[in-house]
Amino acid sequence: MTSPRLWLLPCWFFIASSYAAIDNSRYDLSVNGLWFAEQKILGPTPSYRHEERLYQTSYGVQGQAEWQGSLANLPWRVAIFGNWDEQDPERRYWDIREAHATKIWQDFELTAGISRVFWGVSESINVVNVINQADLTESFDGKVKLGQPMISLFYAASEADITLIYMPVFRERLYPLRPNTGMKLADNAVFEDGKEDGGWATRAKFYTDNGEWAIGAFTGTRRVPILRPSPSSGRLMPYYIQTHNLLFDGLYLGEVLTPKIEVKAGRELDDNFVAINAGVEYRTYPNISNLNEVTLIGEYLYDSRKETVENHGQNDVFIGMRAEIGTDSDMKLLFSHDLSYASQYLELSLQYRINDYVRLMGKATSIMNASPDDMSLYPYKDEDFVRASLHVAF
């Protein structure tokens, strides 16, 4: 990962000056194993070529340290993440996930520094989660995010929360060597009209007895680049475009059914677009030993942007489940099928808590099928990968 920019210097000063005012701290260390399977065509001549499954294993360590406290009546929080991998230099990096302080005036909160903000209600892909850049070295699905420098103003009303965010800088998406897109990426990205700004965002969230809903807006550099082949270099060139979004998300919490929806409408490259993720969750409590709760998930995602789509959900059905097994284990299974290209994606996550300090985690991802027309999944069509980790927290 690239070296820290100048905007990190005041964050380090803030971390150093805050160390003496720590109220709580938490540390998470883990040993990781990554396993990749890649389909290759081998052979010296066309008549002798054949498909063969190639395997690669990599090991690494990572850690995250979190502190929070108060300095001069300003609540603050810091979270620093670091990762080292034996084979992939792109996985040897550190990131300030959070480093911010908050000034509170009655119902107003002004926060400055580095933060991670989550917006959305869906299980598969959150189309309204537009603030932070994805950390693909930690999560192929983009669920894990990098820290984003920002200044935010928060107002808490009786039945609503209102947030205004300004992001002075933009963080590029960085790609690990595996999973492999099939082509190397260029070192330098290109920005539409030369604009490399973090952007502005606002959101108002409302609460009801059995649900919540929110409206918002975002304008700035889109976090997901368009990867364009460069004929001169033979590499993929990340091209970041400007985007202007109106956002809506909401859910209704029923006794067993929870309908959800996320909508993003906007304009990119002089074209209007809309992205929708609508679904439902059904909770059940099976009469099976050690199986406490099972939540069935069904979602449909549509995105009108075609070649410039942000993720692999452009006309996809997602089905899956979450399960609580005993008091120590959780499992999540998610399968997607593209109704346009017949591409298929499978993801399985497991977590087992050995005790209050030690837990095992695993995640397996498989691109089961990918059409050449599906530009989101086709570059990864030959790759499956598994990640296992042993975490110690204290």
Domain locations in the chain as residue ranges: 8-393
**pLDDT recorded at residue 221:** 98
Cis amide linkage into residue 46, ω under 30° from 0: no
Query: Whole-angstrom Cα distance, residue 53 to residue 35?
Result: 13
Encode 99-120: b = buried (16+ Cβ within 10 Å), e = exposed.
bbbbeeeeeebebbbbbbbebb
Strand partners, 300: 278, 317
* C-alpha angle 199-95-36 in degrees, rounded to nearest 5: 105
Distance (Å) of CA 29 to CA 1, 90, 339: 20, 19, 41
CATH topology of domain 8-393: Porin (2.40.160)
**pLDDT recorded at residue 47:** 44
Query: Whole-angstrom Cα distance, residue 181 to residue 227?
Result: 10
Torsional sign, CA 169, 89, 129, 191: positive
* C-alpha angle 310-136-138 in degrees, rounded to nearest 5: 140
Matching residue, tokens 């690990």: 176
**pLDDT recorded at residue 287:** 82
Q: At 172, list the tokens.
A: 């590029």
Burial class of 257 by CB neighbour count within 10 A (0 to 12, 13 to 18, 19+): exposed
What's the distance, Cα to Cα, between the start and end of the chain in Å? 27
- For every residue of the chain, which 3-state class applies, written as one string? CCCCCCCHHHHHHHHHHHHHHEEEEEEEEEEEEEEEEEEEEECCCHHHCEEEEEEEEEEEEEEEEEEEEEECCEEEEEEEEEEEECCCHHHCEEEEEEEEEEEEECCEEEEEEEECCCCCCCCCCCCCCCCCCECCCCCCCCCCECCEEEEEEEEECCCEEEEEEEECCCCCCCCCCCCCCCCCECCCCEEHHHCCCCEEEEEEEEEECCEEEEEEEEEEECCCCEEEEECCCCEEEEEECEEEEEEEEEEECCCCEEEEEEEEEEEECCEEEEEEEEEEEEEECCCECCEEEEEEEEEEEEECCHHHCCCCCCEEEEEEEEEEECCCEEEEEEEEEECCCCCEEEEEEEEEECCCCEEEEEEEEEEEECCCCCCCCHHHCCEEEEEEEEEEEC
Backbone phi and psi for residue 16, each to the nearest 5 degrees, phi listed first: -65, -45
Matching residue, tokens 């950390």: 135
**pLDDT recorded at residue 42:** 42
Are the beta carbons of 212 and 225 closer than 8 angstroms? no
**pLDDT recorded at residue 175:** 84
**pLDDT recorded at residue 300:** 98
Are the beta carbons of 320 and 332 closer than 8 angstroms? yes
Q: At 351, list the tokens.
A: 């977590």
**pLDDT recorded at residue 51:** 52
> β-strand 108-115 against 148-156: which pairing, if any?
antiparallel
Q: pLDDT by residue (tens digit) across 251-286?
A: 999 999 999 999 999 999 999 999 999 999 999 988
**pLDDT recorded at residue 181:** 65
One digit per residue, pLDDT tens: the chain, 394 residues?
Answer: 444 455 565 666 666 665 657 888 899 999 998 887 655 444 444 444 445 556 678 889 999 999 999 888 889 999 999 999 988 888 899 999 999 999 999 999 999 999 999 999 999 999 999 999 999 888 888 899 999 999 999 999 888 999 999 999 999 998 887 666 667 788 889 999 988 999 999 999 999 999 999 999 999 999 999 988 887 777 889 999 999 999 999 999 999 999 999 999 999 999 999 999 999 999 998 888 888 899 999 999 999 998 899 988 889 999 999 999 988 999 999 999 999 999 999 999 999 999 999 999 999 988 888 888 887 787 777 778 888 999 999 8
**pLDDT recorded at residue 41:** 44
